[in-house]
Structure 1
């Protein structure tokens, strides 16, 4: 029996929203990696005041593209600038649909002249692979899926991230001296424990650091070397729970809804995707409910990816994306929850609050936006929600309310008063972390 497609699932459910709406769904967790090592709060604190090791080897999919047409393919399906894309450089990959809204971002690394690796959730990789096959490009691709449900056996590569105040000191200790001066989001080849690694200058939550990438067969030796070097710096390993919270402060929305579900031009694309793909199974939940899936789409402009966008070439969605720049009416912000309300809703010790739910943000005027990524940040002392809000309410200090509850879905008025808890919140900038906002972001987006 053939595997049902995403389009089959939409047709059976009656709509994309009916397919994806799953109230009360548990948040996704990193596969393979221990949930906790030192504990949620200690691990969150480590990348601020100390140094932390995160194992990123298992939760992301990789697709390797190679061939004479690899660059031309990527130019045709994304808004990035490829004119000065150096070998060893990485970029925030920005593919958009025909309507100019984002598919899903990723990290694109140029390994050689005609070889690239695209890393992240699978949706952006599925997008590129579809057009690679459809367009007859002279390019080959191989996908190494993530370990959650999509892969048997070991990953192809390991990824270890060292970040925090003492990250560069630890790295110098591990390698016997500082690595060569490397620009942000550029990489340099190196050797650790006798194994070749690629050292990518990178960090999360606004902190300095490196990401070390290499053949998975070498993962234990490289990890042992990092742990040994980290002993003098009280290195903390970050578990799969705390790791998922660092994007809240650094201002990165990790899993937007791909803008693919209704466009007639993408009917064949939806037919090419399995119902059991990321696009068919990534759930929606929270108090913000709409029958129209397009109400969940996001523009790259709203995500803050403007500096990664270039119109110096033609690409899918180019005209719509260019027109959308003048029409952006939402701004990415961080909501800082009122601590009294946090205690009333989540308890005196909030613990591990983590949700990708779309919760309503309201003012006295009514609906003002929605949350995308909510977590308790223990060193901050309360819950933060990375959100999109109408620009008129985006000024830091503005008071808003978050409606905390699970809308049941179709058959209930989207604006019905369902008696959900209401949490007062204050608008703060995004990124919330001051270093990430004032320094890190100056160099983080590479065109």
Structure 2
């Protein structure tokens, strides 16, 4: 039987202010200036620190069976040295967690930033052990990232395929290089013992000085997810844990989540509902249907079979009307007008799922999130899930801007494809 959500996690409670800025986990808000840093992964490259994301090693004969049971992804043909973007859902096909999973041995994987698999492991009959691993995770992303990496490692990495790993040595530290592309450009994640962070950072900064590399501050950390379309937990969706279906797991997150519940899981924006499930999302809505494989049974499979066959919503980018944005800022200086909610630049730093209603002819047809200013495109853009019949690139819709009870205003927006920025992450490294 579905249980009633705990009162502290009602929708009204989740609109309470966050005590810490989301961007603080990446270090300083900016190293030089945020506009320069936001341009770096399109023009040169950046160095970012994602060490705050927990890493957990799972070992044992049932390790692939565990992740097969909790993930929409297949674990067949999962090679040692390969990584996957795994998606984990509840029984209704709504996302509880998504993360990167790397196979590091015959009976060993490392999962980056997921707690749900460990909870299921402890509730089920799995011959699997789990332990936290102290890994630093540096991101080197952008067109010149390959040259910085090769300079620092004094070795070629051009045979490295997308979502595959190899070992290199940087400043006498063994570093695992995972080729990935969270920026939609050539990119790498560098993993190594956390106590070696200062040594590796210094070597990368020295190598990057000849290639225009910037350090990524917290103000722009999530802009690449917006431009390259990587919907993110806590910014674009709430994990499907707040509706009372899994109270023990929710209790663990509250008690053992290192304060994440207070930092990340809050809602804001013009979208209103009394049901927290309206902030949940499915992999189908985000366009992740190509990751769903029904060659195995997994939690949420029945619900996703129905949704794959008849999707209700799909993902898009919204390009907000520049004249309307300029007028919103101008209204801050017009005496006598109600003050609107301030539109932070480049994004809201507080880590809300800032969800705004998307209207067509006065009717809600979607919900938008991750609103941010792209200095590269000179536009305000956002991610969006839209009713499929209204997801037509080039069509105009309206975003209702502002929290309930404020001087809300309607801002025109144009539907565009997602990702908005062309994806160049899988180019042949030998061609560079």
Q: Please state which band the TM-score falls in when normalised by the shorter chain.
A: 0.7 to 0.9
- Show the counterpart of 1:135: 124
Asked if 1:335 is matched to 2:318, the reply is: yes
Deviation at 1:16, TM superposition (A): 3.1
Asked if 1:28 is matched to 2:22, the reply is: yes
Instruction: Tell me if the contact between 2:99 and 2:111 (Cα under 8 Å) persists in the aligned partners.
Output: yes
In 2, Cα distance between the equivalents of 1:286 and 1:258?
18
Deviation at 1:263, TM superposition (A): 5.7
Asked if 1:209 is matched to 2:204, the reply is: no
**TM-score, with structure 2 as normaliser:** 0.87
Instruction: Tell me if the contact between 2:26 and 2:50 (Cα under 8 Å) persists in the aligned partners.
Output: no
Deviation at 1:365, TM superposition (A): 4.6
In 2, Cα distance between the equivalents of 1:70 and 1:88?
15
- Show the counterpart of 1:150: none
Higher mean alpha-carbon deviation, 315-324 vs 190-199, is at 315-324
Deviation at 1:228, TM superposition (A): 1.0
Deviation at 1:378, TM superposition (A): 1.4
1:427 aligned residue (401, 415, 419): 415
Asked if 1:397 is matched to 2:385, the reply is: no
- For 1:257-314, what per-residue CA distance to the aligned partner results, in whole angstroms no more than 9, with x for missing partners? 12233364x3444455436744676001110010112222211111121222111111
Deviation at 1:107, TM superposition (A): 0.9
- For 1:155-211, what per-residue CA distance to the aligned partner results, in whole angstroms no more than 9, with x for missing partners? x11111111121212222222242151110111111111110001111222111211
- Show the counterpart of 1:412: none
Give unpaired runs (5+ residues) of structure 1: 1-6, 145-155, 409-417
When residues 275 and 16 of structure 1 are mapped into structure 2, their CA distance, relative to the original with a 3 A threshold, is farther
3-state SS, counterpart of residue 354 of structure 1: coil
Instruction: Tell me if the contact between 2:180 and 2:187 (Cα under 8 Å) persists in the aligned partners.
Output: yes
Asked if 1:274 is matched to 2:254, the reply is: yes
In 1, Cα distance between the equivalents of 2:347 and 2:321?
16
Deviation at 1:389, TM superposition (A): 1.2
1:71 aligned residue (64, 83, 94): 64
In 2, Cα distance between the equivalents of 1:290 and 1:216?
42
Instruction: Tell me if the contact between 1:23 and 1:406 (Cα under 8 Å) persists in the aligned partners.
Output: no
Asked if 1:375 is matched to 2:365, the reply is: no
The total of aligned residue pairs comes to: 406
When residues 174 and 24 of structure 1 are mapped into structure 2, their CA distance, relative to the original with a 3 A threshold, is closer
- Show the counterpart of 2:340: none
Deviation at 1:23, TM superposition (A): 6.7
Instruction: Tell me if the contact between 1:24 and 1:285 (Cα under 8 Å) persists in the aligned partners.
Output: no
3-state SS, counterpart of residue 162 of structure 1: strand
Asked if 1:353 is matched to 2:334, the reply is: no
Deviation at 1:386, TM superposition (A): 0.8
Instruction: Tell me if the contact between 1:167 and 1:208 (Cα under 8 Å) persists in the aligned partners.
Output: yes
- Show the counterpart of 2:338: none
2:239 aligned residue (255, 258, 274): 258
- Show the counterpart of 2:50: 56
2:11 aligned residue (17, 35, 48): 17
Give unpaired runs (5+ residues) of structure 2: 333-342
Cα RMSD for the two superposed structures: 2.5
